[in-house]
Structure 1
């Protein structure tokens, strides 16, 4: 595994600080064990290294904060290198800085200073309190005791958001340069209940309503999961976040597919512990990634893209 700085223990949940000397690395890269597969697998929301100064600012305790994680999704993807995928996962929690948001999705009501209008894009996610620096937890509880200095947001974006996206962009660009195409599989987990109007399926495949990847990828993923006996939806209730929509541009050679896994399949959602299905879902994810790796190697190259 390759780290951007000092390694973060997988068991670590609290870091001593968030200064430039902090040992917290923004992400972990795991190289493929098989060469020649244009596949990148990402887990942006499974990080659980909580900076101590963040815990001091928060009105919620660490256990409540952790319910916003995509618990151990990175571990469910352990088979990715074996099918030839490059893997990246964030080490910091999404409730601290959410890389599945644009860097200007900032909520002006959170900060003590006024924000320049050009620095802010008020999207529905920002209005809901779920911008790049979230205002509320996944359960809807306010995170912070008081408003934050604006530098808290700009520092987190510079030190966590930007390095993660720089690394992800570099992985994708390298695959496109080498193979003419790249498939990004952005992996998340979703609550088993709680979304009105949806009988939650086991998996949701998000391709931004058909715009972020070739139809063959979504179809292959759906066929693989359904053949294993799982219920799947396309794009509802999750069509793909910032990562899927930003990187998923098939005309440039990059295809992006978001995969949401129902948490009850592999974990106890109250105690935040793996359940007896964890190993089975890990095996299913390996099978899914193997299927997508096969499709990725056969994708047509957009005209004008030269391979190395």
Structure 2
């Protein structure tokens, strides 16, 4: 039997690098079996993917990895977040359940129906969410074993104008939003990010999106695992909502590489 590769990739960096660039939302790929339960027609689904996908963030992470003095590791999701969102809590701790966007989305960015009422998310959690979570935990454990620490830099983007699903869309929308966690984001990491992204425009903190991703195995347990979410406003590097990248991507890649270098030593 031919082995089916997982729908994510852990791409190697330098052996002594503690940094993992995590890219969870860059793909538009939806397997046919998953697509069959989505109620949107093809045109509406493409429009939703334009809004929900963090377009070009995998390319951004790849370019930054190539520019960094010590190449970081990269964990890249190969499937759309409309399959599962690996960064959500898979239970009722997840505040985005209020708008139908828990680990498995049932509503769109405009709060319209994505999956029918009564849809059972359990098979998608088992097939896609759980293996992703295990693999990301293994990736962090690998960096801890090799270097004594792990630095997760979560690479995202967000629209210049708020979408209806946003729970905190009335706050500032800087060029670069830095999402933090009280336990896992030390001041030195935050300072390094502010300095690295200064050439890209205004940086802000936890608005319009807050927090950062740490696998549950390490969450609020291991201070050697530090984490920062980098949310880039899309009009700074691409044509919205789902268009091509522009020259701003190169500036951002240089900035991201500078952050990687600053926290790699």
TM over 0.5: yes
**1:65 aligned residue:** 48
Change (3 A) 1:96 1:148: farther
Q: Is the partner of 1:211 in helix, strand or coil?
A: coil
Structure 2 residue 88 is the aligned partner of structure 1 residue 85: no
- Greater shift after overlay, 189-198 or 158-167? 189-198
Q: Distance in 1 between the 2:219 and 2:71 partners? A: 20
**2:136 aligned residue:** 168
Structure 2 residue 18 is the aligned partner of structure 1 residue 47: no
**The one of 266, 270, 275 aligned to 2:241:** 270
Give the number of the structure whose alpha-carbon radius of gyration is greater: 1
**1:21 aligned residue:** none
Give the alignment's TM-score, normalised by structure 2: 0.85
Matches within 5 A, 1:1-308: 5-6=4-5, 25-32=6-13, 34-60=14-40, 61=42, 62-66=45-49, 67-78=51-62, 79-80=64-65, 82=68, 83-104=70-91, 121=92, 123-144=94-115, 146-147=116-117, 149-150=119-120, 153-194=121-162, 196-208=169-181, 210-226=182-198, 228-241=199-212, 243-244=213-214, 246=216, 247=218, 249=220, 251-294=222-265
Contact 2:133 2:215 in 1 (8 A): no
Q: Is the partner of 2:52 in helix, strand or coil?
A: coil
Q: Is the partner of 2:154 in helix, strand or coil?
A: strand
Give the alignment's TM-score, normalised by structure 1: 0.74
Q: Distance in 2 between the 1:196 and 1:172 partners? A: 31
Higher relative contact order at CA 8 Å, sep ≥6: structure 1 or structure 2? Answer: 2
1:255 positional shift: 0.8
1:275 positional shift: 2.6
Q: Distance in 2 between the 1:196 and 1:88 partners? A: 28
1:261 positional shift: 0.8
User: Displaced runs of 4+ in structure 1, greater than 6 A?
Assistant: none
1:250 positional shift: 7.2
**How many residues align structurally?**
250
Q: Render the CA deviation track for 1:263-291: whole Å, top value 9, x for unaligned.
A: 11111113432233233322322222222
Structure 2: 5+ residue runs without aligned partners?
163-167
Contact 2:153 2:229 in 1 (8 A): yes
Structure 1: 5+ residue runs without aligned partners?
7-24, 105-120, 295-308
1:56 positional shift: 2.8
Q: Is the partner of 2:230 in helix, strand or coil?
A: strand
- Greater shift after overlay, 214-223 or 177-186? 177-186
